[in-house]
Chain A
Amino acid sequence: MTFEVVKPGLLTTIQDLGRPGYFHLGIPEGGAMDRAAMRIANMLVGNPEDAAGLEAVFIGPELTFNDDTLVAVCGAEMPILVDGEARDGWSSFMVKAGQTLKFGFLKTGARIYIAFAGGIDTPPALGSRATYPIGALGGFEGRALAAGDVVPVGAATSNAKERTLDKSLLAELPKPAELRVLPGLYWHRLTEASQDQFFADEWKVAPEADRMGYRFRGGNPMEFVEREQPFGAGSDPSNIVDGCYSYGSIQVPGGTEPIVLHRDAVSGGGYFTIGAIISADMDLIGQLQPNTPVRFVRVDMDKALTARQERKDRLQKIRKSLS
């Protein structure tokens, strides 16, 4: 089974849940920015949740199918068209051989996830089909899809049938978006007033935000506790002696624009990190459009773990409803 790319969109990549275990070697986990949407799209077509599908940001691709294929689209709200006829998001539907799947203008959110019954069947690299374009690793020849690419799809499971998600099972999102932060390693480098200001300010997603990092601007410049820079650190107060970065950590080069490191981030460097976005809120970041207003909300470890459990429970309910 295959489908052909007629128009790739802006940046459409093969993604799954990523390749954990190599970050210490500088190879990011990668995988879907909105992992829940990727998982649910797979559940809707009867795939294992870690099957590979497509992630398309802002613009949907145009795909022609060479075989009858059960497909589901989750994530951002974007009109879905099969040979010009509307289909629903968060549900699975058949696309017949010769038919074309395409998309209208993005309405809300940023990224759609397209699952295909059987999953995309390109060769895995380091245990994953996720595309890491900067490292030319995984996915389709290590790159984003281009017009003319013919993408292989595996055999559907016996559980491939049309389904619709009860959307009341999805989390409701606060407006403006709230990202919960656990202050961390270098939080003490900010003055107390600056710490409070970070949470009081309204920030906006910068247009540069991508799979490596989500940049925010519009808040006040940060103020640092004075110190003599240690040997090996750069001269700017936001510099440290090189350290490890984690998925979700927030670095603030020059103390001006926070960057949340996401799926394709580098694993270390010389900027201080004030803390991390809690794991429960990382998927939401993948659905933030440029210029979206965002507030950072302080939480402690207990709240972060509770939020993680709630997210797991919600996903388990969805899994049961679609099984």
Chain B
Amino acid sequence: MADIQSPVPGTFYHRPSPEDAAFKSAGDSVAVGDTIGLVEVMKSFIEVQAEEAGTFAGYEIENEAPVSAGDVLAKLK
């Protein structure tokens, strides 16, 4: 299991835009550098990228929920 943590405080999004599907769903393969979500802060959207490869286990924080820096956003297995 690997945790993907938020680099910044802000608002977490699972999707690139409201019309699109989530970046990842359970069972998807994840490569190093894959974007798994966005955190919005200071009028910017920061891409949250996987730092190790694995299989996506799921999001740990709901779409559009507030997050703090270091919060676990998603888990890999």
Whole-angstrom distance from the CB of B46 to the nearest CB of chain A? 7
* Contact A207:B70 (CB < 8 A) given known A57-B42, A105-B5: no
- Say whether B42 contacts A291, CB under 8 Å: no
Whole-angstrom distance from the CB of A10 to the nearest CB of chain B? 6
C-alpha gap A117/B58 in the complex (Å): 47
* Contact A291:B43 (CB < 8 A) given known A10-B8, A106-B9, A207-B10: no
- Say whether A290 contacts B5, CB under 8 Å: no
- Say whether A59 contacts B7, CB under 8 Å: yes
Tell whether A177 is near chain B: CB-to-CB under 8 Å.
no
Most chain B CB within a 10 A radius of its CB, from A105, A110, A207, A208: A207
- Say whether B70 contacts A105, CB under 8 Å: yes
Question: Mask for B10-35, Cβ within 8 A of A = 1, else 0?
Answer: 11000000000000000000000000
CB contacts under 8 Å to B, within A54-92, are 57-59
The SS class assigned to the A binding surface is loop
* Contact A289:B42 (CB < 8 A) given known A105-B5, A207-B11: no
- Say whether B70 contacts A290, CB under 8 Å: no
Whole-angstrom distance from the CB of A295 to the nearest CB of chain B? 18
Tell whether B51 is near chain A: CB-to-CB under 8 Å.
no
CB contacts under 8 Å to A, within B22-70, are 40-44, 46, 66, 68-70
Out of B7, B41, B46, which one reaches A290, CB within 8 Å?
A: B41
C-alpha gap A106/B9 in the complex (Å): 9
- Say whether A105 contacts B69, CB under 8 Å: yes
Out of B5, B8, B11, B66, which one reaches A58, CB within 8 Å?
A: B8
- Say whether B40 contacts A207, CB under 8 Å: yes
- Say whether B43 contacts A58, CB under 8 Å: no
* Contact A208:B7 (CB < 8 A) given known A58-B69, A105-B70: no
Whole-angstrom distance from the CB of B30 to the nearest CB of chain A? 21
Tell whether A4 is near chain B: CB-to-CB under 8 Å.
no
- Say whether A207 contacts B42, CB under 8 Å: yes
- Say whether A106 contacts B69, CB under 8 Å: yes
Return the chain B residue nearest A211 by Cβ: B42
**Residues of A close to B5: CB separation below 8 A:** 105
Whole-angstrom distance from the CB of B54 to the nearest CB of chain A? 21
Question: Mask for A194-222, Cβ within 8 A of B = 1, else 0?
Answer: 00000000000001111000000000000
**Residues of A close to B11: CB separation below 8 A:** 207, 290
Whole-angstrom distance from the CB of A175 to the nearest CB of chain B? 15
**Residues of B close to A106: CB separation below 8 A:** 8-9, 68-70
Return the chain A residue nearest B69 by Cβ: A106
**Residues of B close to A11: CB separation below 8 A:** 42
Whole-angstrom distance from the CB of B3 to the nearest CB of chain A? 12
C-alpha gap A266/B11 in the complex (Å): 26
Whole-angstrom distance from the CB of B41 to the nearest CB of chain A? 5
Residue numbers of A with Cβ under 8 A of B are 10-11, 57-59, 105-107, 110, 207-210, 289-291
Rank and list the top 8 A-B pairs by shortest CB-CB distance, nearest first. A105-B70, A106-B69, A291-B66, A58-B8, A289-B9, A210-B42, A207-B10, A105-B69
Residue numbers of B with Cβ under 8 A of A are 5, 7-11, 40-44, 46, 66, 68-70
